[in-house]
Amino acid sequence: MEDIASLVRPEIYAMRPYTSARVEGDQSARIHLDANENPYAPFPGGPEQEGLNRYPEPQPASLLSRFSEIYGLPVEQIFLSRGADESIDLLVRGFCAAGRDGILITPPTFVMYETAAEIQGARVCRVPLVPGSFQLDVDAMLAACDADQRIKLVFVCSPNNPTTNAMERASVLRLAAELRGRAMVVVDELYVDYSGRPSLAREIADQPNLVVVRSLSKEYSLAGERCGITLGHPEVIGVLRRIMPPYPLTVTAIRAIDAAISPAGIAYGRRNIARVVAERERVREALLRLPAVIDVLVSDANFLLLRTEEPRRLCAAMAEQGIKLRDRSSVIEGAVRVSIGTPSENDEFLRAFELCAPN
């Protein structure tokens, strides 16, 4: 605990956290007159609107209990946020003082880490992934942390966005072991269920400076309801709860999440993940046969990264056909990111690609 506490901004421990009406007192009261809510359900006032006029639990006990079963961690090590982006932002705010502390990222990677640091006024150290393999350059990352003792957070995206690959488990664990007491290693596992690899969450017991960020957006089809899950040492979770917004999850989000993580919901989600993985391999093989495609990286995620000669022109031509792709040529030469859709969407994409791709 002391290793982690020494990394947290002292202002966070000194502050008096805001406590909402749903945190204070007995939540089983028959009549709530404590939160200045409107006592009537919103329009049109039917059964579906029941409860929408009331503030939700900030960290719903039923969801924490279920996630505890899923991830094999006690509820004290689980934090729920409004998407993984909010968790990333809270981690930066909790550990990095503006103008003093910094984070380390491994480009090309998810841009939100850098964005959160810039908003907080934290410095950003960049250690590129190894060219070709897009794996972590652990020696260079450790050297950067040696050179800058104010790096508090090291972000690792695995599987990585946009390069699609999972990072070597041993590399991540070596980082955590050698940076213990010096920096937190935050592993973004939003796509891990598409990789077939186990989560690193079970390693937190041995590596208390390891934090794992998950989500229901990518793997369990809840991007529209926003739910991020942070798994970490109780001290880390305590810091996030001190600085979280009063009500991270909406009533409708809680209902949708509850259904998605039920045994039937998990089984449904896993079936859909298997369908996406099968389509991912089919689409990759089809793309590799097209002359306009230079390469398609092997993917551990629910998207592909292909390389072509004229990525911007390709994306523009596809957009005219009503199909939106993501041009990533600004970070990887010739790169275009393609999310995996339904079989019919993928078929339409492949037909349009053959027409639009440069010869």
User: Under a CB-based contact definition with an 8 Å cutoff, are residues 232 and 79 in contact?
Assistant: yes
Amino acid in the structure at residue 235: E
What CA–CA distances, in Å, run from 279 to 19, 84, 90, 151, 343? 47, 26, 35, 40, 7
Using DSSP, state whether 196 is helix, strand or coil: coil
Fold for domain 273-356? Aspartate Aminotransferase, domain 1 (3.90.1150)
Question: Rounded to a whole number, what is the distance in angstroms from the first to the last CA of the chain?
Answer: 59
Q: Looking at residues 19-47, what average pLDDT do you find? A: 84
Backbone conformation region of residue 22, classed left if phi is above 0, alpha if psi is from -120 to 50, else beta? alpha
Dihedral angle of Cα 27, 31, 37, 42, to the nearest 10 degrees: 110
Using DSSP, state whether 306 is helix, strand or coil: strand
Work out the angle at residue 315's Cα, subtended by the Cα atoms of residues 304 and 320, and round it to the nearest 5 degrees: 130
Per-residue DSSP letter, 117 = H
231 pLDDT higher than 80: yes
Q: What is the pLDDT, as a whole number, of residue 3?
A: 86
- State how beta strands 293-296 and 151-157 pair: unpaired
Helix (H) or strand (E) holding 87: helix 83-95
Give the list of residues 6+ apart from residue 36 with CB closer than 8 angstroms, or none.
none
pLDDT tens for each residue of 60-109? 999 999 999 999 999 999 999 999 999 999 999 999 999 999 999 999 99
Q: What is the pLDDT, as a whole number, of residue 359?
A: 63
Q: Looking at residues 278-286, what average pLDDT do you find? A: 98
Q: Which of 333, 338, 348 is nearest to 294 (CA)?
A: 333
Q: What proportion of the chain, given as a percentage, has pLDDT over 90? A: 92
pLDDT tens for each residue of 112-139? 999 999 999 999 999 999 999 999 999 9
pLDDT tens for each residue of 289-333? 999 999 999 999 999 999 999 999 999 999 999 999 999 999 999
Q: What is the pLDDT, as a whole number, of residue 30?
A: 85
Classify burial at 304, counting beta carbons within 10 Å of its beta carbon; exposed 0-12, middle 13-18, buried 19 or more. buried
Extract the tokens encoding 234. Answer: 């109780």
Q: Is the dihedral of CA 272, 274, 275, 280 positive or negative?
A: positive
Q: What is the pLDDT, as a whole number, of residue 341?
A: 97
Work out the angle at residue 346's Cα, subtended by the Cα atoms of residues 342 and 350, and round it to the nearest 5 degrees: 175
Helix (H) or strand (E) holding 179: helix 169-179
CA distance 193 to 199: 8
Q: Which of 334, 346, 337 is nearest to 110 (CA)?
A: 337
Give the list of residues 6+ apart from residue 339 with CB closer than 8 angstroms, or none.
302, 303, 326
Please state which of the four CATH numbers 3.40.640.10, 3.30.70.270, 3.30.429.10, 1.10.10.410 is assigned to the domain occupying 2-20+55-261.
3.40.640.10
26 pLDDT higher than 80: no
Q: What is the pLDDT, as a whole number, of residue 199?
A: 97
pLDDT tens for each residue of 340-349? 999 999 999 9
Q: Residue ranges of the domains in the chain? A: 2-20+55-261, 273-356
Q: What is the pLDDT, as a whole number, of residue 215?
A: 96
